Amino acid sequence: MGYVAVEAGEEVIKRAEELFEKQRVDGDTEPVSVEQVDEQLSRLTAQAMSEGGVYAPRLAALAVKQAQGDTAEAAFLLRAYRSTLERWDETPPADPATMEATRRVSPAYKDVPGGQILGATKDYTQRLLDFELTDDTAADPTADWDIDGEEPPNLQNVLEVLRDEGLVHEPEDDAADTATEDDDTADTVPGDDDTAGTGTGNNDPSPFDTTREPITFPAPRPAILQELARGETGAVTALGYSELRGYGQVHPTLGEVRTGNLPVTIEHPYTGDEVQVTSTEVTETECVVPVYEKADDAQFAFGYGLVYGRTERKAIGMSILDAAIQLDGDEPAQNAEFVIDIVDGIDSFGFIEHLKLPHYVTFQSILDRIRAIRDRAAAATGDEEHAAVTADD
């Protein structure tokens, strides 16, 4: 009889899944291995991790393979998995200054302490399809580089220079100043502890976790940053772009964009010492915006971005949105509620695709209304006229 009244049970669902799987295995090629996805499609797996909110490269590679390359589906797999993991501790704040940076550029200054390190990038390469890749020899073009064995320099964050001069507005200052008359349970100073590059570190012992606490607005900045960091890459990029495109006042100068391996430490359960347990590849960016809230104490507005992997456009988009939301305003990207409501990829993907579910009851109700409205309109124009019209049809 139709889509719904089929005797579903396990059989139909199983068959649908098998057809999906067939699309992956039906060809003549060898199955791609999880290791291959991990090593050779790392930008894809990084996007899945970033939107999934969990750093686990090998799992992300598995998710990408299982999802046949669909990043939203892969991120969903990772999120659902993350939900089942027991959370037993929080790390102390990680300091990006300890990052082993493999790339760091600062557009704000021609030269910076530690130097401009271009690193691995295609930014200046011409985008020409490389047909030689169809015959991939996987030759390493850096094989004969002359590498000196020196320790990479510790790179001071360029924004510290501006902070020392008092030119950067600290978001924590807002919270201290503003009295919120609405909430009895006003959020205390929104210290942002997992991103220590924000200057005056607050000692808020437990950062807001949007996966454990529901958000209501106005939301604390840590909640907003977390949602942006987990946000769908396209959404963050598009909304960030809207500010540059003219729908807002944020046209930032990037203090720096930095990529590297960030050490992750925990407090040892017995000794209490900080020990490094792993490192995550991240991209971090900070920007300043020449919008001065106070004329008598002109300071840059400031935005921060941090993502897993090397998706620089997302990190930059995130920093633009952070600055835009702090500045607040009527433009879409400056409206915290609008941005946070739509930026989550799992929410948007789920709800848009839910439209495929049967809706025939709702639709019956809608049909009833449109017919009632048309009947009323027809009756209003008078019976004769109505008859004349129908005679002509």
Partner 1 sequence: MRAIGVDPVADTQQCFRTLVAAMSRPGTVHETPTSPADHAVLATLVDHEVSCYTTDETIKTALANEGRLTEASMTAADIVHATTPTDGAVETLRSGSLTEPSEGATIVYRVTELIPESANSSATTLSLSGPGIKDTRTLAVEGLPASEATSISRAQSEYPQGVDVIVATETALAALPRSVELEVQ
Partner 2 sequence: MTDRQATSSTPDSVDALLDGVDADGLAGYNYAYLDEHTKREVRRSILKSIAIPGHQVPFASREMPLARGWGTGGIQASLSLLGPDDTFKVIDQGSDESVNAANIRRLATTTADVATTSDATEASIIQTRHRIPEEVLSDDQILVLQVPITDALRRVDGSDSANRRRHAHKNYSKMWVALYENIVEYGEIKLSARYPVMVADRYLMDPSPIPRWDVPKLDDADNLFLFAAGREARMYAVPPHTSVTPLAFEDREFQVERFDAAACRHCDSTDTFLTEVETDDGERVFACNDTAFCEKRAANPELTKAHHHDDPKAWGPPTDPAVPYGGDTPPSTNGADLGGDD
d(CA 330, CA 356): 33
Spatial contact of 315 and 284, defined as CB atoms under 8 Å apart: yes
96's CB contacts (< 8 A; 6+ apart) are: 157, 195, 196, 197, 258, 262, 282, 284, 306
d(CA 360, CA 176): 52
Which of 2, 166, 246, 269 forms a contact with partner 2 (CB under 8 A)? Answer: 2
376's CB contacts (< 8 A; 6+ apart) are: none
- CA neighbours closer than 13 Å in the CB half-sphere of residue 203: 0
Spatial contact of 39 and 296, defined as CB atoms under 8 Å apart: no
**Interface with partner 2, residue 361, by CB under 8 A:** yes
**Interface with partner 1, residue 182, by CB under 8 A:** yes
**Interface with partner 2, residue 15, by CB under 8 A:** no
CA distances from 313 to 121, 257, 263, 285 (A): 13, 10, 23, 10
**Cβ at position 218, least distance to partner 2 in Å:** 7
Spatial contact of 61 and 55, defined as CB atoms under 8 Å apart: no
**Interface with partner 1, residue 148, by CB under 8 A:** no
Which of 111, 362, 390, 393 forms a contact with partner 2 (CB under 8 A)? Answer: 362
Site string for partner 1, 208-227 (x = CB under 8 A): ----xx--x-----------
* Amino acid sitting at position 337: E
Which of 45, 57, 101, 302 forms a contact with partner 2 (CB under 8 A)? Answer: 57
**Interface with partner 2, residue 6, by CB under 8 A:** yes
**Cβ at position 122, least distance to partner 1 in Å:** 45
For partner 2, give the closer residue by CB, 127 or 369.
369
Which of 185, 203, 364, 390 forms a contact with partner 1 (CB under 8 A)? Answer: 185
The interface with partner 2 within residues 201-260 (CB under 8 A) comprises: 211-218
**Which of 232, 242, 175 has the alpha carbon at shortest distance from 204?**
175
**Interface with partner 1, residue 183, by CB under 8 A:** yes
Which of 43, 337, 382, 385 forms a contact with partner 2 (CB under 8 A)? Answer: 337
Which of 95, 119, 341, 386 forms a contact with partner 2 (CB under 8 A)? Answer: 341
Binding site for partner 1 (CB under 8 A): 182-185, 212-213, 216
